[in-house]
Amino acid sequence: MNKLLAAALIASVPLAGFAAEGNKTPPATPAGQSGTFETLDANKDGRISMPEASADPRLVEIFSTADKNGDGYLDNAEFDNSTVKPRK
């Protein structure tokens, strides 16, 4: 009986990994695409922080240049004036 229980437990461990994969959230932007301001502003505070910008690798590259006032955030105007534009 104990061997059967142990075998059942061992057999179910890989299934737990598959179940966990279903809970992953997709990235904010698909690879190679720019996000919109609304998509990247994850906490909806009206500005994009560097951690939020990290969902868009192209935005990360130009973040400090786009941040004209140097406050560490991109507001909507700074984002619109950046060279990163969402693809359609």
18-77 pLDDT, tens digit per residue, is: 454 444 444 445 555 578 999 999 999 999 999 999 999 999 999 999 999 999 999 999
- Specify the length of the chain in residues: 88
Q: Which domains does the chain have, with CATH numbers?
A: 34-88 (1.10.238.10)
Q: What is the pLDDT of residue 60?
A: 94
Distance CA 49, CA 4 (A): 53
Distance CA 66, CA 79 (A): 7
Strand partners, 49: 73
Q: What is the pTM of this model?
A: 0.60
| Contact (Cβ atoms closer than 8 angstroms) between residue 42 and residue 54 | no
Distance CA 74, CA 86 (A): 15
| Contact (Cβ atoms closer than 8 angstroms) between residue 66 and residue 82 | yes
